[in-house]
Amino acid sequence: MLRVDILLLDLVVVLALARLLGYGARLVGQPPVVGEIVAGIALGPSLLGDVIGRDLFPEDILSPLKALADVGLVLFMFVVGLELDQRLVKGKGRVAAGVSVGSTALPFVLGCGLALLLVDDHAPEDKKLAFVLFLGAAMSATAFPVLARILTDRNMHRTRLGGLALACAAVIDVLAWTVLAAVVAIAGSGEGQWKIVLVVPFGLLMIFVVRPLLRRLVPSYERAGRLTPNLLSLVLLGMFGAAWTTEYLQVHFIFGAFLFGALMPRGGAAEKLNHEILERLEQLAVLLLLPMFFVVAGLSVDLTTLEASSVWTLLGILVVAIVGKLAGAYVSARFLGVPRKESAGLATLINTRGLTEIVILSVGLQKGVLDTELYSLMVVMALVTTAMTGPLLNLVYPREQVARDLAEAERAALGEHLVHRVAVVIPDLGHADALATAGAAAAAEHDSAELVLVHLPRYPGERLEVGLGLSEELAELTSILGRLESAAARVRTPRLPVQVHTRFSADPEGELDAFVSAAEPDEVVGPLIPSP
């Protein structure tokens, strides 16, 4: 019988600790996921040990907790698939493909090499091959969501480097999940193993039958004008159905959920549909269920039983993971003509393992490929690589460089100007019309002039870790652009071209100066005192 009082207490404790340590991580400049992983480990045997641990997480509560964690994981992997966006790779295909392969192949090979040293001590007799391949695959992951978060936090996702990093991470995502699925298939054992051959027809069915069917969701979404319960039910059914199928086929349910997300329709009205689905699933899944996953993952981490020899193993893992990834990415980026500094930044960014690694490791543990010791050490590796990204990035690609990149991107966007350029700074959209009119009046005093309306809104508060947040941002920017454009339309004449310019900023007042100097205006119109 389920002990519901313990279940509820666990939910409260886990929720509170995950938020608290996530917040703490932010305070020291780390992505929240670092704190959340630590929260999971802290609740496990390493810290609480047998004293509180046995009371908080008795044996019979584990499978209910795991049920919640698994439902959260299905939703999460669907979101990861849904946010996979081919457009991220567009125009960067060559570099993205090259860097992805390079930054995956080297840690994979090195990981397999390390695995050969460890195989006798750690691998089960019947899974030696799977063990070697799994360790290789686990070394080559990159956490797309964490990466996206780091980029948006630093305002880097609109720079060339940011775009490149997102493109590489998207390709690595597909690569890593595919390789992992193959490894898990190999690792499968015993009866039912034959089902694995059905994976290929299942994949074809998904691509050639389910995907076209999913496209039909869009017109019925447009007709309803909103995400109806029926539509959301269909999506949930498909997601859990696909997850169940891959689990049944002896792979793992995460692949089905990911694939289903990746096959959701794109473009046009579908984007709005996806955005609404994200909005419904994300917060509850991420806030309530995913912390359960961290804890279930953390409960298996036991750092207390590590022996002296483990330190050497850990060192080996860290070297393979970090050096393999950094060198693989840097060398292949340089080889493809990416400048030195950007190559270093790129390598640093895709070294982030984050949540993705934890998911992969828990698959390995569950499939019996990893033992507890190696699992624990690999979790530490995930933690270290994620935590090192920020500080290392500050070294190889300082924030001033990012600011220069942004200014350059903006200068390129505005184009060269040969006429009198009037920049109108609009701190508050309510005054857009009045300020545009004032700008037009200033411009009218010159024979040939142009107007640039600028509005830099502040970033919308905290964002969720999972979920790029880009889609929400896009929706807001679109609405802001609409208002700017309507102000522009009022003053635009055949003789006065008007451009509008907006983007989110972490520090609107500070960045305004940078922007204004990048736009190289001949005249600036705006309220003297920026509104708070």
Q: Which residues make up the interface to its own copies (CB under 8 A)?
A: 1-2, 4-5, 7-9, 11-12, 15-16, 19, 60, 62-68, 70-71, 74, 224-230, 232-233, 236-237, 240-241, 243-244, 247-248, 253, 279-281, 283-288, 460-464
Distant-in-sequence contacts of 51-56, Cβ < 8 A, 24+ apart? 56/6, 56/9, 56/10, 56/13
Tell me whether residue 60 or residue 121 sits nearer to its own copies (CB atom): 60
- Minimum CB separation from its own copies for residue 95, in Å? 34
- Minimum CB separation from its own copies for residue 465, in Å? 9
- In DSSP terms, which residues pair with 496 in a beta bridge? 493
Tell me whether residue 280 or residue 495 sits nearer to its own copies (CB atom): 280
Tell me whether residue 339 or residue 460 sits nearer to its own copies (CB atom): 460
Tell me whether residue 253 or residue 330 sits nearer to its own copies (CB atom): 253
Tell me whether residue 184 or residue 320 sits nearer to its own copies (CB atom): 184
DSSP, collapsed to helix, strand or coil, labels residue 421 as strand
Give the Cα separation of 328 and 206 in Å (integer). Answer: 33
DSSP letter at 458?
B
Joined together, the tokens standing for residue 65 give 């907790």
The CA-based angle 120-123-126, given to 5 degrees, is 105
User: What are the residues whose beta carbons fall under 8 Å from the beta carbon of 310, sequence distance 6 or more?
Assistant: 373, 377
Tell me whether residue 220 or residue 517 sits nearer to its own copies (CB atom): 220
- Minimum CB separation from its own copies for residue 185, in Å? 15
- Minimum CB separation from its own copies for residue 480, in Å? 14
Joined together, the tokens standing for residue 297 give 């993952």
- Minimum CB separation from its own copies for residue 9, in Å? 5
Q: Which of 118, 138, 111 is nearest to 309 (CA)?
A: 118
Question: Angle, nearest 10°, between helix axes 4-27 and 290-299?
Answer: 90
Tell me whether residue 2 or residue 213 sits nearer to its own copies (CB atom): 2
DSSP, collapsed to helix, strand or coil, labels residue 452 as strand
Give the Cα separation of 318 and 176 in Å (integer). Answer: 19
Give the Cα separation of 488 and 497 in Å (integer). Answer: 9
Using only the alpha carbons of the chain, give its radius of gyration. 25
DSSP, collapsed to helix, strand or coil, labels residue 52 as helix
Joined together, the tokens standing for residue 213 give 């069917």
- Minimum CB separation from its own copies for residue 338, in Å? 35
Tell me whether residue 74 or residue 147 sits nearer to its own copies (CB atom): 74
- Minimum CB separation from its own copies for residue 150, in Å? 17
Element (H or E) spanning 455, and its range? strand 449-455
Question: How do strand 523-525 and strand 449-455 relate by DSSP bridges?
Answer: unpaired
Cβ-contact 424, 452 below 8 angstroms: yes
Tell me whether residue 276 or residue 410 sits nearer to its own copies (CB atom): 276
Tell me whether residue 217 or residue 320 sits nearer to its own copies (CB atom): 217
- Minimum CB separation from its own copies for residue 504, in Å? 14
Task: Please report, as a single letter, which amino acid is at residue 34.
Answer: V
Give the Cα separation of 119 and 126 in Å (integer). Answer: 11
Task: Count CB neighbours of 528 within 10 A.
Answer: 4
Tell me whether residue 1 or residue 528 sits nearer to its own copies (CB atom): 1
- Minimum CB separation from its own copies for residue 237, in Å? 6
- Minimum CB separation from its own copies for residue 277, in Å? 10
How many residues would you count in the chain? 532
- Minimum CB separation from its own copies for residue 359, in Å? 14
- Minimum CB separation from its own copies for residue 394, in Å? 26
Give the Cα separation of 291 and 35 in Å (integer). Answer: 11
Tell me whether residue 459 or residue 497 sits nearer to its own copies (CB atom): 459
The CA-based angle 189-195-201, given to 5 degrees, is 140
Give the largest Cα separation in the chain, rounded: 85
- Minimum CB separation from its own copies for residue 111, in Å? 27
Instruction: Decide: residue 429, CB within 10 A, 0-12 exposed, 13-18 middle, 19+ buried.
Output: middle
Cβ-contact 178, 129 below 8 angstroms: no
Give the Cα separation of 252 and 85 in Å (integer). Answer: 23
DSSP, collapsed to helix, strand or coil, labels residue 505 as strand
- Minimum CB separation from its own copies for residue 213, in Å? 15
Tell me whether residue 101 or residue 287 sits nearer to its own copies (CB atom): 287
Tell me whether residue 33 or residue 392 sits nearer to its own copies (CB atom): 33
DSSP letter at 493?
B
Q: Which residue has the tokens 């549909």?
A: 273
